[in-house]
Chains A and B, each alone.
Chain A
Amino acid sequence: MRKWFFLFIIVVLGLLEVAVLDYFKIFGVKPDLFLIVVVILSLFFELKGVIFFVIFAGVLKDAFSINTFGINTLLLPLWSFLIMKLSKRISIDNNFILMAVIFIITASHNIITGLILVFSGGFFIPLGISLRIAFLESLYTAIIAPLVFKIFRTFPRWLPQGAWNWE
């Protein structure tokens, strides 16, 4: 049941990002909910338990975008893997550390995506616009991440006893 629940959450967030989030754009950028969900899943669960959902989130994002298919499908599991490694060495309970991690991951994700777009020859974005997107999106995503985390942390109260535990 919990697996269907996470699948449902990813689908709903994906639909929100595609259909609704445009109304919350600031300076032409909107936050990356897919990335926040991946970070949440990576912090709470083991890799083998969430890899399917992380890949599913990547495939969903790739399907709705016009970039090279597979960029998000491969990058999101990579960030998930790195987050898991990092969470074993430092504590990400503090909101500021969480925001910093999300900022760095989002910025890296955008830089890699931008470079792939340029070198794949498909699309070209001027440098000024690229830097604006990379920086502002990272900042916006990092700012709303604690809010999304807080909502997820209250989930155990909404679910039946034991449903939040993966095993």
Chain B
Amino acid sequence: MLKFKKKSLIYLAVSIFLLTLLSSLNPALRTTILSTFKYPLSLLTLIRREIGGIIFYHRNLMQNEGLKREVDLLRNKINTLDEIYLENRRLNDILSLKQKTPYKVIAARVIGRSPDNWSSVVIIDKGRYNGIKQEMAAMTYLGFLGRVIETTESTSKIMLINDPNLGVSCIVVGSRQEGLVSGTLGNSLIMKYLPKGADIKISDVIITSGLTDAYPKGLLIGEVIEVGEELSGLTRYAIIKPAVNLSSIEEVLIIIP
């Protein structure tokens, strides 16, 4: 049985005092440490990427050939869509509708991730110096990624969409059913509190709704892979496979509002 001496009580008191002090010093300490470790983290990530390139050479070669074929196909589609876009502009001009300008983005590389398993966070190599601020949305070329939660001068932290603390207002493409998507700290997302008669089914595409100013409308979230009923029987839920592979993100795009 451990004996609790006066020393232990002093230790406890000092601990509580230190916790309070550290909480107040939080921004200064975190900023300094993150700025210090930015370049070692970037170097380690680069080494890991190069080693991965050597180890997975054959897989990358096959993937490259498949992607080249897909690029050619998409190029053809873009040409077709360009024509449709020009026609749309002409028609809008005729109707004198206001043109929406696309948003600007800042590209950044992922240099690290949260060391604990209680959150899904990535660290990127751009910060306030580059114009990034808290609450900005983040995405990749494939779809929506998350939100900036912390910034230092040269690094930022992004909470990913599979973190349970990030809720994103979404709609189902087609039926326009609204819902709130949050994460499970795993490879899937969950859309909860859907009404019993919600018009949602497997393989439906989910996008951001744009109902709040937090995220632009139309960013791809993912695809429904399962629909079920909650234990209470009053509401339904949908499991969503994210469009972005959250375990292998290399680059992110921060949206400038």
Contacts and interface: CB of A to CB of B under 8 A. Distances in A.
Interface stretch (B99-107, B113-121, B199-207): B113-121
Given A19-B45, A126-B164, A133-B185, A66 B159 contact: yes
Contact of B118 (A11, A59, A74, A117): A117
Interface size of A as a range: 35 or more
A19 B30 CA distance: 17
A108 to B, nearest CB: 14
Nearest to A133: B117
A125 B253 CA distance: 27
A69 B22 contact: yes
B111 interface: yes
Contact of B117 (A11, A69, A70, A137): A137
Interface string A98-129: 00000000000010011001000001111001
A20 B48 CA distance: 7
Contact of A66 (B25, B29, B119): B119
Interface stretch (A28-36, A37-45, A153-161): A28-36
B26 interface: yes
A60 B33 contact: yes
Contacts of B111: 19
B255 interface: no
Contact of B121 (A27, A66, A78, A85): A66
Interface in A5-63: 11, 14-20, 22-23, 25, 27-30, 32, 34, 59-63
B214 interface: no
Nearest to B12: A78
A94 interface: no
A68 interface: yes
Interface size of B as a range: 35 or more
A64 interface: yes
A19 B41 contact: yes
Top 5 nearest A-B pairs (CB, nearest first) are A63-B33, A70-B22, A18-B112, A69-B26, A19-B44
Contacts of B159: 66
Q: Which of B112, B121, B123, B187 has the largest count of A CB atoms less than 10 A from its CB?
A: B112
Given A61-B115, A65-B115, A73-B18, A15 B164 contact: no
B30 A20 contact: no
A124 B123 contact: no
Given A61-B115, A74-B15, A20 B185 contact: no
B150 to A, nearest CB: 7
Contacts of A14: 37, 115
Q: Which of A19, A23, A73, A117 has the largest count of B CB atoms less than 10 A from its CB?
A: A19
Contacts of B150: 66
B40 interface: yes
Given A18-B112, A63-B29, A66-B114, 20 more contacts: A14-B37, A15-B40, A19-B44, A20-B48, A28-B117, A34-B115, A59-B33, A63-B33, A64-B33, A64-B112, A66-B119, A66-B149, A69-B23, A69-B29, A70-B22, A81-B11, A113-B118, A129-B185, A133-B118, A137-B117
